[in-house]
Amino acid sequence: MARYKLSVQKPKLIAVVGPTASGKTSLGIYLAQKLGGEVISADSRQVYNGLDIGTGKVTKKEMAGIPHHLLDIISPKKQFTVSDFVHLAARAHSSILQKARITILVGGTGLYIDTFLGRMSYAEVPPNPTLRAKLEKKSAPQLFAQLQKLDPRRAANIEKENPRRLIRAIEIAKAIGANPIPTLEQKYDVLWLGINPPQETLYKNIRTRLLSRITEGMVAEAKNLHTPAPVGIGLSYKRMEALGLEYRFLSQLLQNKVSKEDFILGLERAIQHYAKRQIRWFKRNKDIRWITSKAEALQLAKKFLK
C-alpha cells in the first residue's frame, strides 16, 4: 500500500460530504482502500449505540476492513455536542496520523464538519438545566419561532423539526447573543470532495433506502430502543423524538399517532427536506470539488497527497 507524505504544520485530510443517500459512505471506504486511510464518521446520530438501521449505519461487512471512528461511542440517553465531536475527531485524526495513514472524514452533518475543520467556531456554552426544562415544554414550531427572533442566521440553516438542536441553538443565543459565525482560520489542509446527485436520483435513493430499512427491521429496532433494560435500552419516546428524523417518526408510529402509510410518506418527505438543507449548507463552501465518479475522486485525492 502506498504511503503519502503528510504536512507537519497543517495536516492533510480528505473530507467527503454531501446530502443523505448520495453515496458518501461507499466513496469514503473506496478512497480508504486505495490510499491507505481510515474513516472518521461525521454523523450526529451514528455516534449513538443502537441507532443502526434507522440511521443507515455502515455495517462491519460494508467497512471491508477499513477502520471507522466515532461510531457507537455514546448512549442515546445522553447528549452529544459539537464540542464533543471536535475533541474526539481531533483525537482520532491524531491517532491516524501517527500510523502514517490518511484521514478520510465522511458525513453529512455540516455543523460538525465545518467546526472540526476550522471553518466555524463554536461556543463553549455550558448546559442551562433551568432553561432547557422550560424549552422542553414547547413544540418544535414554537422553538423555531423563538430561535428566528434570537438568531435568524442560525434558524435559516437548522433542522427546524429537531427540538434538541433548536433548544441548544436557543441556549447558545441566549448566552452569547448568537451562534458562532464562520471563521477564516483553517486548521487543516483539506481536500473537499462533494457528492450531489440529480434531485430525481437522490429522491429515488432516499425512497429505496427507506423501504429497505423498514424491511430490515427499523421499527423493531425502535421498539427495542424503547423497551426497558436489560432487554432494551429504555429510551423514552420524548428522547427518541428529540433525536430527530427517523426516530421522531418512529416514536410517533409506536405511539399510534400516525398510520404506517403516513409514517412512510411523512418520513420520506422529511428526509427529502433534510437533504435540501444539507445541500444548501455545503453549497456555501466554495472549496468543495463536486465529483461525479469514484475515479475522479481518486484522481483528485492522489494529486492532493503528492
Task: Dump pLDDT digits (tens) for 51-68.
Answer: 999 999 999 999 999 999
Return the pLDDT at 129. 87
Inform me whether the pLDDT recorded for 2 exceeds 90. Answer: no
Residue 219 lies in a domain: yes
State how far the Cα of 193 lies from the Cα of 229, in Å rounded to an integer. 42
206 with 241, same domain: the answer is yes
69 in Cβ contact with 106 (< 8 Å): no
Over the stretch 67-90, which tens digit does the pLDDT of each residue have?
Answer: 999 999 999 999 898 889 999 999
Alpha carbon of residue 11 to chain centroid: 23
Return the pLDDT at 127. 81
Give residue 51's identity as a one-letter amino acid code: L
State how far the Cα of 286 lies from the Cα of 187, in Å rounded to an integer. 17
151 with 210, same domain: the answer is no
Residue written as grid cell 471491508? 64
| Residue whose C-alpha is closest to residue 197's, from 296, 292, 276 | 292
Cell numbers standing for residue 266 = 411523512
Residue with the larger pLDDT of the pair 144 and 187: 144
Residue 218 lies in a domain: yes
Residue with the larger pLDDT of the pair 3 and 30: 30
92 in Cβ contact with 82 (< 8 Å): no
Over the stretch 269-294, which tens digit does the pLDDT of each residue have?
Answer: 999 999 999 999 999 999 999 999 99
Number of domains in the chain: 2
**What pTM was computed for the model?**
0.84
Return the pLDDT at 179. 64
Residue 234 lies in a domain: yes
Q: What is the CATH number of the domain that holds 261?
A: 1.10.287.890
Quote the mean pLDDT of the chain.
Answer: 92
**DSSP result, 64-98:** TT--EESSS-B-TTS---HHHHHHHHHHHHHHHHH
Residue 231 lies in a domain: yes
Cell numbers standing for residue 71 = 461510531
Inform me whether the pLDDT recorded for 264 exceeds 50. Answer: yes
Residue 148 is given by DSSP the state H
Quick one: the chain helix, strand, coil %, rounded to 5? Answer: 50, 10, 40
Residue 233 lies in a domain: yes
> Mean pLDDT throughout 143-171?
87
Residue 93 lies in a domain: no
Residue 154: exposed, middle, or buried by beta-carbon count in 10 A (0-12, 13-18, 19+)? buried
Return the pLDDT at 186. 73
Residue 102: exposed, middle, or buried by beta-carbon count in 10 A (0-12, 13-18, 19+)? buried
> Mean pLDDT throughout 7-29?
91
265 with 206, same domain: the answer is yes
Instruction: Pinpoint the alpha helices (H) of 151-259.
Output: 152-155, 163-176, 199-216, 218-226, 237-242, 245-254
Residue 99 lies in a domain: no
Residue 48: exposed, middle, or buried by beta-carbon count in 10 A (0-12, 13-18, 19+)? buried
pLDDT band of 46, cuts 50, 70, 90 = very high
Return the pLDDT at 177. 75
Residue written as grid cell 465529483? 291
Return the pLDDT at 191. 98
pLDDT band of 7, cuts 50, 70, 90 = very low
- Phi, then psi, of 274 in degrees rounded to 5: -65, -40
Return the pLDDT at 153. 84
Give residue 177's identity as a one-letter amino acid code: G
173 with 232, same domain: the answer is no
> Mean pLDDT throughout 35-55?
97
Inform me whether the pLDDT recorded for 24 exceeds 60. Answer: yes
Inform me whether the pLDDT recorded for 6 exceeds 60. Answer: no
Residue 268 lies in a domain: yes
Give residue 96's identity as a one-letter amino acid code: I
Return the pLDDT at 182. 57
Inform me whether the pLDDT recorded for 180 exceeds 80. Answer: no
168 with 210, same domain: the answer is no
> Mean pLDDT throughout 235-259?
95
> Mean pLDDT throughout 190-215?
98
Return the pLDDT at 184. 54
Return the pLDDT at 3. 56
| Residue whose C-alpha is closest to residue 46's, from 34, 30, 32, 62 | 62
Give residue 258's identity as a one-letter amino acid code: V
Domain residue limits at 165: 125-177
Spatial CB neighbours of 289, under 8 Å, sequence gap ≥ 6: 191, 192, 193, 194, 300
Taken in order 76, 92, 117, 290, the sign of the CA dihedral is negative
